[in-house]
Chain A
Amino acid sequence: MIGELGQILLIIALVAAVVQAWGGLVARPQPRLVTVAAVWQALGILGAIVLLGVAFVNNDFSLSYVAQNSHRTLPLIYRIAAVWGGHEGSMLLWLAALSVWSLFALRGLRRHDLSYAARTLGMLGVVGASVGAFVLFTSNPFARLLPAAEEGMSLNPMLQDPGMAMHPPLLYLGYVGTAVPFAMTLAALWGGAPAGWTRWVRPYTAVALALLSFGIALGSWWAYYVLGWGGWWFWDPVENASLMPWLALAALLHVQIARDQHGRFPYWTATLSVGAFVLALLGTFLVRSGVLTSVHAFASDPRRGSVMLALIAAALFGSLALVAKNGERLRSERQSRAPALLSRDTALAVNNLLLVAACGCVLLGTLYPLIMDALQLGKLSVGPPYFDAVMTPVLLPVLFLLMPAIWINWSRDRGSDLLCRLRPTLIAVLIGVFVLPFVLAHVYGQVYPLVVIALLGAVGVIVSTLHWAWRRLRSGGLGAAGTGMVIAHLGVAAFVVGVAMVKGYGLEHDVHMQPGGTHQLGGCSLVFDRMGEREGPNYTAQTGHFTLTCGDGAARPLVTEKRNYVNFGMPMTESAIDWGLTRDIYVALGSPDEPADAGAWSVRVQYKPFVRWIWIGVVLMALGALSAAAAARFRRTVPHADRQAAVPSSTSVEIQA
């Protein structure tokens, strides 16, 4: 019954999406029809997801998807999280994220301009209808299994973790958020847009970036403590698939300021809007088609891959055709003189160039195995050595650009004035040049030039940003957007500190320990007390009990587990972490040494200096983006400066100075 009801809801949502697309894109947009259709679409999709959840909670193994991803012994929370544990359900989640975004876009835009809101929703309807048809015809989560299975195959144990339960919804909300700037750009191309649209689009970009950041941070954090390797980023194709839209969104968020306030980069902004969405689709394609091997890759199905490929092609060629036909509609209404070389505009252009170059490097590294294979040049994989070598020289300049960028004036600036404003920052960096190597040598015993350079950059960014915030506060306040920028840039600095310290001073020891044995690491001593056993709801675990004593501190117990889940052969590692702001001590059980009865185990012990700063940094960037999105001026109806231009909704007034 639930299966059939879910099926009907999906069909309703698909029809509603088609109506929404039609109502928004006809010559005279129908805002009321579009609103009703968007609500029906959301009800259909969200209803379908709830029904699928009910099927999981009730262990309804007559649904093929439930039988493949659940098990009677699975705890309730993971039965719910299993809704998006496989391909079909996660595509449904994709749609749900799209309908949530559509409702928010509708709510935000209809206050400004009804017909533009309808056109944007029309474009989102096209996306919704395409992906909805994809779900219904190639990946139906409500497909029946006859006869019903006695017992499910259970959820992949890697996904049975609180962090993993939340990771997909956040990531998908971020991914799919790229659809809003995409739809707003295409809507502007389709039927013109009121002048304010370049401002209204900014909060959506910011929120999408924030949610994507949270999602990526959660995935990275999960990989750190569940996979048992102690790494935080593996350059896995699917991780890269989420990083590429993130980089594009970050570039877009910055260039939108120049586009909105000074009418610069109109075509480039549009290109990035389309690019971010296509990269998000590409990510979905890479995960779902099985063209690349990855920890995330599910069984490959050529039919699904071909349809996803067709969707990407449609998005690319559709937007290209629109730009070719109506490109003039993107042109800025207010365009002042060309900016001087030393100006905020140039800084933003360089920022975008570097971020997009980074994105291109990730894309190349991700697709390279595919290129080689397609050209029959052999099988290979591209790993961390490539990405480390390529990303460092591209991203370090971004860090150093950050110091002066916030101080440079728009349009033109004088070098001497800029130097004057940067004086505290330069002094701090100069002090750092002399002090940092000594501090590092004293604490860690070694100095690596690259770590010092990165830390100098971080110090410079922190001082420059705080100095800027202080100046702003004294002259009348930061505002939500300014606060957001300060938080996000401090987040970048924190992230860099974490990455540099872990790369430079992280220690990994693979040791063999007997119960009673001791291992020294990073000024701490780790004692292996004993092995034990524990029964979980759907697994049995071997537990390794350790005691950690650091310097003067008290002894802390650490328990790491090796879990064997029902229905899965591969044991899962739960690492034990003694965490701190300046370092983590990370213990993970390997495997018992031969002969097994001797009681010795291989144990991976790691010392991770400042590793928390990586996630703190990403969370700060996300919070900064959220704060910027909350800025009051984004919600103001028709900004004063644009009022005149906004009256005829599709004319563009050009003021040549």
Chain B
Amino acid sequence: MNRSWRRHRHWLAPTLFILPGALLFGVVIILASIRTIWVSFFDWDGVGPMQWVGLANYQQLAADPQFYVSLKNNVIWLVMFMLAPPLGLALALLLNQAIAGMKVLKSLFFVPLVLASVTVGVVFTWVYDPTFGLLSLIYGWFGATAPALLSDEHLVSFAVVIAALWPQVTFCLVLFLAGLNNLNEDLIGAGRVDGARGFAMLLHIVLPQLREVSFIALAITVIGALRSFDMVAVMTSGGPFGSSTVLAYQMYEQSIFSYRFGYGAAIATVLFAIMAVFIVWYLRTLLRPEQETA
């Protein structure tokens, strides 16, 4: 036993090392995700037996007006979230000075990043409150009445996304500050000698060096927009009248509240298909440089 262990440990030991993590991740995350696709072909209340219905859930989904509301809101999230990288970059450019006291100020700027989304949701529900919120105070200064953003079916999604942008912009800010710290000083110096200043410098010398960081910021922002759930759940529960649901929330509602697990799984599968495009694109870009050097 001991001898054969010694002979084989060069591959047995690594196998044993990777097994617990790979098994746990494989079963709980990967297999579960695949099983959702399987469940989407069934009619299931989550408790009783599952009944095969083929593509019926998807046909129903295609005819469900609520599905298109969710899809439209996901697009609103995605488009508005695209503001996060440029806003984060703008803040990073503002804050990138080495002056006494800036360290503390910068860390205070980072606070929204570590807040729980529930906290952000509660805080902004407050801001938006039409009777005593920050927004009503500001409207009051101009003698106007604040709109009840969270109960207006046309504005609600925008209001929720603005709240969600707060931590997302912070995330981009942190990434861009790190990127700005890794700039090639020689290139900047050469640019200055050549008379590049201000915006021209940013466009031609700084931004090209931030390509990698920008890519990450963009990818994380896209994925963040697509998997938005918490803010909708906390701030509106999808309301008023389901006007602020996103795919993730509709899926949760259909499964947990309406016990339509097969239908929920179909929504999740559609969401997954949309996301898979981005994940594959991300992984390809990520793994490509390594393949070149290998």
A, B bound: no
Q: Which residues of B contact A (CB under 8 A)?
A: none
Q: Which residues of A contact B (CB under 8 A)?
A: none
